[in-house]
Amino acid sequence: MNHSIFDQTFKNDHFSGKKLPARAYDNCTFLNCDFTATNMSTVTFLECNFDTCNFDSTMLKETSFQGVVFKASKMLGVNIGSCNDFMFSAKFEDCNLDYSSFYGFTMKNTIFHNCSLKEADFTDADIVGSTFHDCDLAKAIFENTNAEKVDFSTAKNFTIDPEMNKLKKAKFSTSGLAGLLYKYDLEIK
């Protein structure tokens, strides 16, 4: 079980409720795969693509993602914060990450494009330089988050307290200012 798999495509595979068979996957593609309740702990993914995959209740303890792209995947309630943050590098496109936890996780320069992150938890996370392009952050939690240089300019429905988070050089649109001033109960027109 300590072997690596290189340059393979997995299509319509069901890994549900199992432990992945390899220790590392390098340059692999996963298309329409089901990882529901799969144990991916301590597995390394290098330069892999996950397209239209389901990650409900997936265990990711010390899982490594380096140069990975998640596209149109369902990742409801996934604990990304339990992954290995050493050299973490991922891009999320058109994904549903509602209720996911990034608690205490370092994920600098991460790109979220057209993702739903409703009620996601970024408490104590380091997301410096990340981008939330056209993302829905309704009820997402930002508390003691290092969000310096983060681009929120096209994000929507966020509420972020500038006094409880690091926001130096973060980007916001004028329409997003209400999300920064919500606690003052102001009427912004």
Q: What is the CATH number of the domain that holds 156?
A: 2.160.20.80
Q: What is the model's pTM?
A: 0.93
Residue 84 lies in a domain: no
Total tally of structural domains belonging to the chain: 1
Q: SS3 for 21-78, per residue? A: CCCEEECCEEECCECCCCECCCCEEECCEEECCECCCCECCCCEEEEEEEECCECCCC
- Identify the band that residue 176 occupies on the pLDDT scale cut at 50, 70 and 90: confident
Residue 42, in any domain of the structure: no
15 vs 1, higher pLDDT: 15
What is the residue range of 168's domain? 97-189
187 in a domain, yes or no?
Answer: yes
The answer to whether residue 146 scores a pLDDT higher than 80 is yes
Q: Is residue 53 part of a domain?
A: no
Residue 9 in domain: no
In the DSSP assignment, the letter for residue 176 is G
In a domain, 45, yes or no: no
For residue 28, being part of any structural domain is answered with no
- pLDDT of 38-73, one tens digit each? 999 999 999 999 999 999 989 999 999 999 999 999
More confident residue, 37 or 2: 37
